Chains A and B, each alone.
Chain A
Amino acid sequence: MSTFMPMLYSAWDSDIAYSFRKSRVAVISSLLLLAMFLAAILAPHLAPQNPFDIAELSLFDSELPPAWAEGGNPAYLLGTDTQARDVLSSIMYGMRISLVVGFASVILAAVLGVTLGLLGGFLGGIVDAVLMRIADVLLSFPPILVALLINGVLRGALPQSAQADSALIVLILSIGLTNWVQYARTVRGSTMVERRKEYIEAARTLGTGSVAIMVRHILPNVLGPVLVIATINLGMAVLTEATLSFLGVGMPPTQPSLGTLIQIGNEFLFSGIWWVVVFPAVALAVLVLAVNLLGDWLRDALNPKLR
């Protein structure tokens, strides 16, 4: 206890915490994100209804407008869809899937990118040249197109019957394999700088192996910008997932993400049940906006020179 309080105090007093408290945008967007994460993680406990349990659905309650509109039912705050699923519950469950895909693909991209960047920067030569040419080619195409292509190739390689079950993995792979380039380039650049420093030479003199130098000595010193890239990337990954699902090559309607919910709602646009499409769309936009704002703040806070 005697060491804990000062530690907490110094964390509260640190530059980054100060800049966080001073930035109204950062505080509001992180509170929003926290609320959305909690709603998604605790969906099975918090959601008014399990939209995938047919026993809980009653077709008499289908196509109800939001609670405040005429004919709304207070039990369904944001209304119900054509199959009597509560829109609010669908959004909470959908956000779960969107966030799982988002986080998993960011982790995949970061691990892949950091590893390749470290290898390229440390080894140099042909390994580096090949990696950077691949990165150049990938960067010259819009990410959504690359993700679509990887998605199509993976789905083509799988048998038809397995496609619905593997949709989550296919999405994570196609988004993760699209986004690693930025990490690799950044880490490669800083690795090349670190490699020439004296402490690396010292480690080498002591007989430390290349792998140990890379992992134990260089990695901690090049990880700083990775956090910023990862935060900004999370927004992009969630957006890409939603876009792929909306285009019908992402999550199937049996396990809808936010993008799938918008796609389903889009089909009923002309029957006047606007709430089925508008609320998932708002949830997606707010989620991405909050992540982007937090990412922008983090970039400015960690690197005042970049402003």
Chain B
Amino acid sequence: MFAFLLRRIVQAALVMLVVASIAFLMFRFLGDPISNLLPEDATVEERADLREKMGLNDPFVVQYGRFIANAAQGDFGQSYRNNRPVSDLLAERFPATAELVLVAASLALALGIPLGIYTALNPRGWISQGLQVVSLLGISVPTFVTGILLILLFSVTLGWLPSFGRGGVVDLGGWTTGFLTLSGLKALILPSIMLALFQMTLIMRLVRAEMLEVLRADYIKFARARGMPNRMLHFKYALKNTLIPVMTIFGLQLGGLIAFAIITETVFQWPGMGFLFIQAVNFSDVPVMAAYLVLVSFLFVVINTIVDLLYHVVDPRLRVEKSTARGV
């Protein structure tokens, strides 16, 4: 187990190094930071001065080393557009995105798993057939269209829910939360539904397919032959094995949620990291783009590593196979 953990961490560190190198190359070759940071009428001396102070005259390798060292400490320099440290901008925006993704992920799991179980146990029922059609639509309709339609229905026509922003937020020592005010909670509803919908249909289809597969397995047949009640059979024995692959896919999809939050945040003008990133892409604000890339990759790598470890904890077969394989 320890060796496995170590190997995974080395692998994760390598991926992060590659990502950081890409970020550095973006810094180095995209636009001139000097002309972006100084006003148009700066003198030649002022430019040369800043160039020297930022260390842009140093050898390539020195600059690369410094970039990696700074990035490891969360320092990505100044945003070209806002003239503020990138790390401050990201830290400010992070809670908004984290809360949105958290609510959407819980929603997707809380609805997707029961619906998947239901459609697997009653595959011929009209509710199941209807859900299959809805999930096909859910995969083909672009998420931003879903968001716009939600706004059109619940904000414009019915006027029930707000269509932009986070509502009232409470500052808990650097972490702003929308969970503690009524308007904050109301503002979360539409964006999290939009973000969750695609994941929910995905989880539903996955649970359904896995459950149908598991129900055909021999151990279920034997249990049924022994006269075990259906409820116990389905929920105690079948469900456990169904959820293992679901866990993996969901872990990977959590990264997808962070990426798709970019679209959700744009539709609902949600003041999160994705909205910041889109503005950075629009204005070619390289430091913000690079920092977002590194931060998101870091989250992906952490999530993937945790999922891999959990997999080992949950599925004993995997542990046995690995240890015997290594013993040979």
Contact = CB atoms under 8 A, between A and B. Distances in A.
Interface residues of B, number: 42
Given A153-B30, A262-B144, A137 B18 contact: yes
Contacts of B296: 145
A249 B281 contact: yes
A149 B262 CA distance: 12
Given A137-B18, A248-B278, A285 B141 contact: yes
A247 B263 CA distance: 7
A152 B144 contact: no
B55 interface: no
Interface in B69-104: none
Given A145-B296, A151-B281, A278-B152, A247 B145 contact: no
A163 B195 CA distance: 31
Contacts of A175: none
Interface stretch (A35-43, A223-231, A238-246): A238-246
A184 interface: no
A8 B145 CA distance: 43
Contacts of A149: 281, 289, 293
Interface string B225-251: 000000000000000000000000000
Given A247-B266, A270-B156, A156 B300 contact: no
Contacts of B267: 266
A212 to B, nearest CB: 36
A29 B29 CA distance: 46
A2 interface: no
Contact of B142 (A137, A148, A243, A269): A243
Contacts of A132: none
A157 interface: yes
A224 B12 CA distance: 36
Nearest to A248: B282
Nearest to A242: B142
Nearest to A136: B15
A239 B267 CA distance: 16
A239 B293 CA distance: 22
Interface residues on A, range: 35 or more
A195 interface: no
A142 interface: yes
B149 A243 contact: no
A239 B148 contact: no
Contacts of B151: 269
A26 interface: no
Nearest to B252: A140
B28 to A, nearest CB: 12
A193 interface: no
Q: What is the interface of chain A mostly: helix, strand, loop, or mixed?
A: helix
Contacts of A239: 142
A155 B283 CA distance: 9
Contacts of A281: 142, 145, 148-149
Interface in A17-69: none
A285 B146 CA distance: 10
Contact of B278 (A141, A247, A269): A247
Contacts of A235: 140
A274 B156 CA distance: 10
Interface stretch (B108-116, B120-128, B253-261, B319-327): B253-261
B137 interface: yes
B262 A269 contact: no
Interface string A127-167: 00000000001001110110011011101110000000000
Interface in B288-311: 289, 293, 296-297, 300, 304
B282 A249 contact: yes
Contacts of A284: 142, 145
Contacts of A274: 152, 156
A144 B264 CA distance: 13
B15 A269 contact: no
Nearest to A296: B136
B262 A285 contact: no
Contacts of A289: 136-137, 140-141
Given A249-B282, A284-B142, 13 more contacts: A142-B260, A145-B296, A148-B262, A148-B278, A152-B280, A246-B263, A266-B267, A269-B163, A277-B148, A278-B149, A281-B149, A288-B142, A289-B137
Interface of B: 15, 18, 26, 29-31, 136-137, 139-145, 148-149, 151-152, 156, 163, 255-256, 259-260, 262-263, 266-267, 277-278, 280-282, 284, 286, 289, 293, 296-297, 300, 304
21 contacts: A137-B18, A141-B259, A141-B300, A142-B260, A155-B281, A156-B284, A157-B29, A246-B266, A248-B266, A249-B278, A249-B281, A262-B144, A262-B145, A269-B156, A269-B163, A270-B163, A277-B148, A277-B152, A284-B142, A288-B142, A289-B136
